[in-house]
Structures are given as C-alpha cells and as structure tokens.
Amino acid sequence: DIQMTQSPASLSASLGETVSIECLASEDIYNNLAWYQQKPGKSPQLLIYYASSLQDGVPSRFSGSGSGTQYSLKINSLESEDAATYFCLQDSEYPPTFGGGTKLELK
C-alpha cells in the first residue's frame, strides 16, 4: 500500500496569514492526490482533486500543487472558518490511502 505522510500534524496561525500543509507519498502517485477539510463533528469536504483542481464552490484562497511524491495544500489569507483538520488522499493506486491529518488552529 502507498503510505501518505502528512506534515505538520498541527499548526497554529493568525487570521490573514498563509499556511502550507504537505503530503509525502511513499511512491510516485502521478498527481492523483486530493485534499479534504473536516470540521469537528462534520464529514470531510473535498477541496482539491488531481493535485491542483479546485472543487466547485471552494474559495480560491485554497490551492494545491506538487508532483511525483510531494504535494502541498496552500491556504492564503486565513479566515476563521478555515480552522479544521485537513487530510490528503492518494487515489493513484488501490487501496486509496489517507494522510494522518493536519489540525489547523487559528490564533
């Protein structure tokens, strides 16, 4: 199975700041990488698919990049509603596997 190592496990940032979250795959996943946002008590919401394609309705301050084994999610101009846990998912190879998650707290 492809292992997805996500970092950092948690981070704290201020409103208006820009943050990045990383996912490292154990092998090349050919841009088959998605990002999800999950708020406490809620189900995950798809933000980005195929590494950099923005899901309909997702604010443009979210962006994804990367290739090969290294991918990142960038959130510009943090807003209070961005406080959540973020997960990556590789769907390059069966079985699909998730990263461990990054908990983003707003100062």
Residues that bind other proteins (CB under 8 A): 32, 34, 36, 42-46, 49, 55, 87, 89, 91, 94-101
Least distance in angstroms from the C-beta of 100 to other proteins: 5
30 CB contacts (<8 Å, ≥6 apart)? 92
Q: Between 62 and 87, whose beta carbon lies closer to other proteins?
A: 87
Q: Between 16 and 59, whose beta carbon lies closer to other proteins?
A: 59
Least distance in angstroms from the C-beta of 95 to other proteins: 5
Instruction: Count other C-beta atoms under 10 Å from residue 6's C-beta.
Output: 19
In degrees to the nearest 10, what's the CA dihedral of 47, 26, 5, 16? -40
Closest CA to 32 of 100, 99, 88, 107: 88
Least distance in angstroms from the C-beta of 12 to other proteins: 19
Least distance in angstroms from the C-beta of 14 to other proteins: 26
Q: Between 44 and 83, whose beta carbon lies closer to other proteins?
A: 44
Q: Between 32 and 69, whose beta carbon lies closer to other proteins?
A: 32
Identify the residue whose tokens are 């707290």: 105
Straight-line distance from the first to the last Cα atom of the chain, in angstroms, rounded to the nearest whole number = 37
